[in-house]
Amino acid sequence: MNKNKKLWGGRFAETTAHDAELFSASIQYDQRLYEQDIAGSIAHAKMLQKIGILNVEECERITAGLMQIREEIESGSFEFRTDREDIHMNIEARLTELIGAPGEKLHTARSRNDQVATDVRLYLRKQTDEIIKMIFALQRAFVKKACEYKNAVMPGFTHLQHAQPVLVAHHLLAYVNMLERDKQRYAECRTRIDVMPLGSCAFAGTPIPIDREYTANILGFSSVSQNSIDAVSDRDFIAEFLSVSAILGMHLSRLGEELVLWTSPEFAFVSLPDAYCTGSSIMPQKKNPDMAELVRGKTGRLYGNLISLLTLMKGLPLTYNRDLQEDKEPLFDTVDTVRGILSVCTGMLDRIVFNTSRLYSMADTAFILATEIADYLVMKGIPFRSCHEITGKIVAYCEKNKKTFQDLSLDEWKTFSPHFDSGIEDIVILEKSIQRKKSAGSTAPSEIERQLTYWESVMEVE
């Protein structure tokens, strides 16, 4: 047999052009699916034995051959060949080289179309489980920091302007909530990944009496696909994974941005561990928050990968088209990027140090308690719009006279409204303003304590 003969070469009179071979091969990147491809083939062989297509000895030789291939790949001795196109044909061709005739029976009642869809689903199921664990670890790091800085106060921002004081723990727990939704989205997505296409064959099914449930059981799939045309054409599960990952990236990119701001001398809110910063090749004093910047920067790829796949899919007629091979690079890139982002965020959060005195003094500035004054007047029965107006005038007065709220005498307060009484003094004290918050989910210490207790028990933080 011609050494370079293709597994599909029967009807061809000419060999594939070299440039066409290079252009179409996917083995450079789909070799990452080797583990899933082998597991899928072993399960398929067992099923073929069960229905009598393979005898016991053939099935055993196929299984042993596939296990040897796995070892060759893991030890680095396997030769990945571009002329064998992809991981599926590299493994199948090597199997037949190793064990001869039984290897040629393996591709019975199977096509690369259902095979590749199965491999990717197995791969993604595993990656999703690992990513969920990594998100959990990051949430845990946030919760631990929130506990550590339970009493610290910081300015909260809108429009990047000081708005109202909050507890640092409140801000940190906001990220825990975002990550919780990310985790739920991955878990949801996993239920749709966990469906086995194998047995759809090229797309129309097979006359061979295969037992799909049996194979699904071996591979740990929760169910088998219900429509073979859909099963080989569908890449929604990848689009969904890329979309969920893009949203996660968006959340952590906001964290990246905050860390970049907060480490600047203008803010000086936090310092990051040296291990997650880099220096400058020219300016010896520099400590740059590169990991935080790259979390922000790499989120761009996550968006790009989603758009690549959606664009790839939008014009494809059913069923399989070779274009679908282009699903893998965006997918692998997103998996690597998300894992990298989660890992460095956890590393930074584990050892971030908050500059609590700086945070306090920044929270205690200017007119950050203006809303408290308006709320105080509301409690005296004045409509909120008037309260807002009155407080605005007080701010203008203070600005003009270079005074803080705390500098005002009761007589001065009363010139703005007869409703002010000596109780106003407490209103403009930072800690008291935080303690006075009552609403569910607010920055009140009792609310933060409640949230912390909940997350500590979920995260098993001691």
Look up 386 and say whether it is catalytic.
no
- Tell the smallest beta-carbon distance from residue 4 to ligand ARG (Å): 18
Q: Which stretch binds ligand ARG (CB under 6 A): 187-195, 211-219, 319-327, 340-348?
A: 319-327
In the complex with ligand ARG, which residue's Cβ is closer, 86 or 92?
A: 86
In the complex with ligand ARG, which residue's Cβ is closer, 322 or 402?
A: 322
Contact mark string toward ligand ARG, 97..136, x via CB under 6 A: ---------------xx--x--------------------
Check 159, 422, 439, 457 and give the catalytic one: 159
Residues 149, 269, 303, 320: which binds ligand ARG (CB under 6 A)?
320
**Residues 236, 149 contacting (CB under 8 angstroms):** no
Check 223, 264, 280, 361 and give the catalytic one: 280
311 prior amide bond cis, ω within 30: no
Q: What is the dihedral of CA 133, 139, 144, 149, to 10 degrees?
A: 170
Cα–Cα distance measured from residue 32 to residue 340, given in angstroms and rounded to the nearest whole number? 17
Cα–Cα distance measured from residue 246 to residue 308, given in angstroms and rounded to the nearest whole number? 13
Residues 11, 159, 322, 400: which binds ligand ARG (CB under 6 A)?
322
Residue 279: phi, psi to the nearest 5?
Answer: -100, 180
- Tell the smallest beta-carbon distance from residue 238 to ligand ARG (Å): 12
In the complex with ligand ARG, which residue's Cβ is closer, 225 or 263?
A: 225
Residues 325, 337, 391, 443: which binds ligand ARG (CB under 6 A)?
325
Run of H or E including 164: strand 161-167
Closest CA to 96 of 87, 106, 86: 106
In the complex with ligand ARG, which residue's Cβ is closer, 233 or 346?
A: 233
Cα–Cα distance measured from residue 130 to residue 144, given in angstroms and rounded to the nearest whole number? 21
- Tell the smallest beta-carbon distance from residue 16 to ligand ARG (Å): 13
Q: Which DSSP symbol is given to 278?
A: B
Closest CA to 232 of 198, 209, 207: 198
Q: What is the dihedral of CA 324, 328, 330, 333, to 10 degrees?
A: 180
DSSP labels for 284-318? Answer: TT--B-HHHHHHHHHHHHHHHHHHHHHHHHHTPPS
Q: In 3-state terms, what secondary structure has residue 427?
A: helix
Cβ neighbours around 401 below 10 Å, total: 10
90 binds ligand ARG (CB under 6 A): no
Look up 41 and say whether it is catalytic.
no
Sign of CA dihedral 247, 251, 254, 259: negative
- Tell the smallest beta-carbon distance from residue 92 to ligand ARG (Å): 12
- Judged by phi (left if over 0) then psi (alpha if -120 to 50, else beta), residue 221 lies in beta
In the complex with ligand ARG, which residue's Cβ is closer, 112 or 170?
A: 112
Binding residue count for ligand ARG, defined by CB under 6 A: 10
Residues 86, 182, 258, 333: which binds ligand ARG (CB under 6 A)?
86
In the complex with ligand ARG, which residue's Cβ is closer, 324 or 348?
A: 324
In the complex with ligand ARG, which residue's Cβ is closer, 11 or 159?
A: 11
Residues 131, 135, 272, 324: which binds ligand ARG (CB under 6 A)?
324
3-state helix, strand, coil in the chain (%, to 5): 65, 5, 30
- Tell the smallest beta-carbon distance from residue 31 to ligand ARG (Å): 11
In the complex with ligand ARG, which residue's Cβ is closer, 87 or 255?
A: 87
Q: Which of positions 2-61 make contact with ligand ARG (CB under 6 A)?
A: 26, 30
Q: Where are the beta strands (DSSP E) in 242-292?
A: 270-271
- Tell the smallest beta-carbon distance from residue 193 to ligand ARG (Å): 17
Tell me, rounded to whole angstroms, the distance of Cα 123 from its chain centroid: 16
**Residues 155, 356 contacting (CB under 8 angstroms):** no
Q: How many CA atoms lie within 13 A of 274 on its CB side?
A: 3
In the complex with ligand ARG, which residue's Cβ is closer, 26 or 299?
A: 26
**Residues 150, 169 contacting (CB under 8 angstroms):** yes
**Residues 55, 46 contacting (CB under 8 angstroms):** no
162 forms beta bridges with 157
- Tell the smallest beta-carbon distance from residue 129 to ligand ARG (Å): 23
**Residues 10, 4 contacting (CB under 8 angstroms):** no
- Tell the smallest beta-carbon distance from residue 232 to ligand ARG (Å): 9
- Tell the smallest beta-carbon distance from residue 8 to ligand ARG (Å): 8
Catalytic residues: 159, 280
Binding site for ligand ARG (CB under 6 A): 26, 30, 86, 112-113, 116, 320, 322, 324-325
